[in-house]
Amino acid sequence: MSVMPSARRRATRALAAGAAALALTLAVPLAAQAHVRVDPGQATAGSYAVLTFRVPTESATASTTKVVVDLPADHPFSSVSYQPVPGWTAKVVTTKLDKPVETKAGATITEAPTQVTWTAESGHGVAPGQFQQFTISAGPVPDDVTSLELPAHQTYSDGSVVDWDEKTPASGEEPEHPAPVLQVLPADGSATGTADAAASADDSGDGASGLAVGLGIGGLVLGAAGLVAGVVALRRTRGAAA
């Protein structure tokens, strides 16, 4: 008995759909992780915070050779130091502020660290498929804001530069190159809901990556089911042909 061509086509389509679903699912968490981000994502106002910038190399052919992080000048830190990274040199740039900043604690800041630059020595760049962590101690954390953007600029060995400086719109849809953001929690313990939300997001390292992992698991299940259905259908058509 011959098999109807349409049955074989349906089986082939089921296999293709399952494979496509798996491929897309695997790409989602990888895309979410491929961002320069700051960890932890929150700090308490008035405290000194240890902040780590995780920098993955997204290029398939070039290494990361320089990383620059811009620090806020309108809501500045008064002190920044860096943790040495083997094979990299680091420099903190201090700038005289155009306008002195008065803090709630009564301090007047006239100059402040505004940029940290890490530069790889020869042979120590971050190769494709790798990431590096760059850590600073900064403080006191400003007490007059609820969040601080910390734009980063990533230079590759081929001369290209990726600017991680895009703001997340009100819609919440993440841009292609979002700026690392530090949430500032009040020192008096108020706004508990904000603190809990920030802590929940940080539990997964990043809210978006946590969502991506969840989507990835669900997608893997659906993709695998699609592949199984396709294989079963194809076997049935072959059995009918026999």
Write the pLDDT tens digit of every residue in 158-182.
Answer: 999 999 999 988 888 889 999 999 9
Query: What's residue 48's pLDDT?
Result: 96
d(CA 72, CA 150): 7
Whether residue 58 sits in one domain with residue 89: yes
Whether residue 97 sits in one domain with residue 70: yes
| Neighbouring residues of 77: CB distance < 8 A, sequence distance ≥ 6 | 71, 112, 113, 138, 139, 140, 141, 142
Pairing of strands 181-185, 42-44: parallel
Query: What's residue 5's pLDDT?
Result: 54
Query: What's residue 170's pLDDT?
Result: 85
What CATH number does residue 137 fall under?
Answer: 2.60.40.2230
- Asked whether residue 208 is assigned to any structural domain, the reply reads no
Whether residue 17 sits in one domain with residue 69: no
d(CA 146, CA 138): 16
Q: pLDDT tens string for the chain (242 positions)?
A: 444 456 566 655 655 555 444 444 444 344 445 699 999 999 999 999 999 999 999 999 999 999 999 999 999 999 999 999 999 999 999 999 998 888 777 788 999 999 999 999 999 999 999 999 999 999 999 998 999 999 999 999 999 999 999 998 888 888 999 999 999 999 886 654 444 444 444 444 444 444 444 545 455 444 555 544 554 555 665 555 55
Whether residue 158 sits in one domain with residue 66: yes
Least Cα distance to 183 among 141, 138, 136 occurs for: 141
Q: Which residue has the tokens 């290029």?
A: 59
Helix%, strand%, coil% for the chain, nearest 5: 30, 35, 35
Whether residue 126 sits in one domain with residue 10: no
- Asked whether residue 205 is assigned to any structural domain, the reply reads no
Instruction: Please provide residue 16's backbone torsions phi and psi, each rounded to the nearest 5 degrees.
Output: -65, -40
Query: What's residue 203's pLDDT?
Result: 46
Instruction: Please provide residue 49's backbone torsions phi and psi, each rounded to the nearest 5 degrees.
Output: -120, 140
What's the domain count of the chain?
A: 2
Query: What's residue 172's pLDDT?
Result: 83
Whether residue 116 sits in one domain with residue 89: yes
Total Cβ atoms within 10 A of residue 46: 17
- Asked whether residue 48 is assigned to any structural domain, the reply reads yes
